[in-house]
Structure formats: structure tokens, C-alpha cells
A = this chain, B = another copy of it.
Amino acid sequence: MTAVVGIGITPFGRHLDRTIAQLGATAARAALEDSGLTSAQVEAGYVANALGGMLFGDTTIGQGILAELGIRRVPVLNVENACTSGSSALWLAWNAIEAGQMDCAIVLGVEKMCVPGLGLINSGRSEIDTQLGLVTPASFAMRAMRHMHEFGTTRAQMASVVAKSRAHGARNPLALFQRQETVADVLAAPLVADPLTRSECCPIADGAAAVVLASDRLARQAPRAIRLNTAVLGSGSYENLADMVRWETDSRTARQAYERAGVGPEDIDLVECHDAFSIAEILHCEALGLCPAGEGGRLAAAGETSLGGRIPVNVSGGLLSRGHPVAATGVAQIVEIVMQLRGEAGARQVTGARTGLAQCMGGDRAGDTKSCTVAILSR
């Protein structure tokens, strides 16, 4: 059994005066201190960053960041898996500990995006989809249109995802957006890709998040350890081109995670999912089994995914309001769930939370997602 024994995170926002390395070291140092372990006990580092090469010409960033903390000589891996970069790094570390190869690893996700040169975000500028204009917002707009057509989902229901997200974000001091926004505000924002308005698209951000994972043996010394029951990484089937509103990859990865953790959707007390767009959260709620297919819009509009509702989703503010520094996001989800399961989430605490689920997806390819991750944690 593997546990999260330490967490660290920076505020998500514009950090114009700080380098990737500085942001990363801040989160990693906080996680190590929170764990009560020493740098000498850390046996490997898994460091996620998606855009450092593209934006800054930087590679092999993990080694330098961890060296600042005194973590040297051990294996350090730099991982890139688009929006699942951070959660893929977690998956690697979890696997290594579960396999008995080590007792302790640090996982860091760090991204710096608020700089000139970023351009439109997509997972491959050389890919034919991208060159034909199917960049990420366009692809999600198509999904939204289809969801409206097939299930009668309304623009107001989609906007309610954002209104809920803003309400959550306002309770998270680490979130980029701290102000409320009504459904009417969301719908009145400029259109990015019909029917999605700017408020329905997650903002870029700079930020970093880190967790320290430990084996059962080591975690026994950590009184606030939270169990990481399972971590699953899946890639696309690329077979559902005709179906824009049912992600086979998403639901398959969730199903594997539930099976391996021995729980079902009804056992989950809170979810952090990859709400890169309003419609994305709706689709993920359906794929995760929080509601039947097609009901995701109504679920949000009815307040069931709000703090205090039946199954709170993205109480951190999620990608939509906390912000989305790509490779940091997957690790930040874990940090949020650990805070919640420890009962340390302050104004956004989900009362009595015992089990949480984190889900990410990354990269488009031929209408499917390239990569999907689901992790389940419990106390």
C-alpha cells in the first residue's frame, strides 16, 4: 500500500518574477517539509513539465530542482504527457512503490505559461487535426454542440458548471479566480468557440504542486498519511469518432480504477476532474458514473456537484477557477484531495470526506483523448 505523506503547492496565477525551477522548488520543499521526512529518504523523483522546452528551451529540469532540496544521486525522471503530465508522474511513482522498488518518492508538477510565445494550446502543432483547425477549444465546442443536440443540455446548464466553479474558487486562497460569476455573467462573456464563452474555458497559469509518496512501512510513521489506493493510466482507443459525447477512454480508465480500488461511484465523497471547459466537467461526471449519460448538465445545474451537494466536484475551483498550469494540475488535484481527507480544507471543506477521486485527460487525437488518468485516495 502506498500513501501520500506530504503535500506542497504554490498559488496558481501569474508568477512573472519566478523561474520554473523556483516555482518547482517551492512546492517540492513544502511537500518534503510537510512529510516530516528528510531529503536523504527520498529514493526517486518524478518531475512533470509539459511546456518548458517549447517556451524556454529548458530540458531535464527535475534534477536541478530536486538538487536544491538535497535530493541528489537518485533516479530522476522528467515526464511529459500533456495535461496528464503530473498525474502520469504520480502513476510512475505509485507503481515503483507498489512494486517494492522503493519506499519513498517525490512527485512534482510545475508549469510556467504566462509568457509571450505560448500561442494556442494543443497537444501537437504538427498533427493534422491541429493544422486543420481542430484546436482544443474547437474540439470541445463540437462536443458541447453534440451534447446539446443529443441530450437537450442547455447553455445555462453548462454555464452553471462555471458559476459553481467560481463559488468554489472564491473559497480557495490558492485559486487564480477569486470572484463569483453568475450564469448570466458566463453566458454574456465573449464567445471563444460557439457555444463556449471565454468564462467556460480554463485560464492558463503559472504554478507548481508536489506530493511525497511513501510505502506502508514508511507511512506508518506519518500520522496524517492518506492512502493512494490506485492510480490508473490509460491511452485512447481512437475508435469512437462517431460519438463526440461518450469517451470510451475516459469511462474505461474510470472503470479500471474503481475495480482496482474496490469501490464504486457511490463511495466517492469528492471528485477533482479535468474541467478544462464547462462541457468537459459534464462529460467527465458522466464517464465517472456520477450520473447517467446525458445528465451531467442537469447534475451541475441542480447543485449536486456544489460544495454541500451530493457529490462535490472541483471544490478547489478546478481548472476553470484555480487555473491550469498544465503539468501542475494533476498533482494539484492530489494535493486538494489530501487536504480534504485530512480535514484541512478550510472554507471549502467537504464535511466528513473519506474517499476522493482525481481524474485528468491529456491530448487530442482523432476525436479521442490520448491519455487519461484516474487516482483514488482514502483515509
Contacts and interface: CB of A to CB of B under 8 A. Distances in A.
A100 B77 CA distance: 21
A79 B75 CA distance: 13
Contacts of A64: 124, 127, 365, 370
Interface string A73-107: 11111111110000010011001100111000000
Nearest to A326: B59
Interface string A32-66: 00000000000001000011111011111101101
A54 B53 CA distance: 5
B370 A60 contact: yes
Looking at chain A's contact residues, the main secondary structure is mixed
A63 B127 CA distance: 12
Q: Which of A57, A76, A79 has the most CB of B within 10 A?
A: A57
Given A53-B80, A63-B235, A99-B100, A127 B370 contact: no
Contacts of A67: 235-236, 238, 365
A248 to B, nearest CB: 9
A: contact size bracket: 35 or more
B21 A63 contact: no
Contact of A88 (B19, B77, B100, B365): B77
A125 interface: yes
Contact of A63 (B58, B99, B371): B371
B99 A235 contact: no
B80 A235 contact: no
Contact of A124 (B57, B122, B124, B238): B57
A126 B371 CA distance: 29
A60 B82 contact: yes
Nearest to A82: B60
Contacts of A123: 58-60
A375 to B, nearest CB: 13
Nearest to A234: B73
Nearest to A373: B75
A72 interface: yes
A236 B72 CA distance: 6
A372 to B, nearest CB: 10
27 contacts: A21-B126, A45-B235, A53-B80, A54-B59, A57-B119, A58-B127, A60-B124, A60-B362, A60-B370, A60-B371, A63-B235, A63-B236, A63-B363, A64-B124, A64-B127, A67-B236, A72-B238, A73-B237, A75-B235, A76-B81, A76-B235, A77-B81, A77-B92, A78-B81, A99-B99, A99-B100, A99-B101
Interface of A: 19-21, 45, 50-54, 56-61, 63-64, 66-67, 72-82, 88, 91-92, 95-96, 99-101, 119, 122-127, 233-238, 249, 252, 362-363, 365, 370-371
- A-B complex: 6 closest residue pairs judged by Cβ atoms: A99-B99, A57-B125, A53-B53, A60-B363, A63-B370, A53-B54
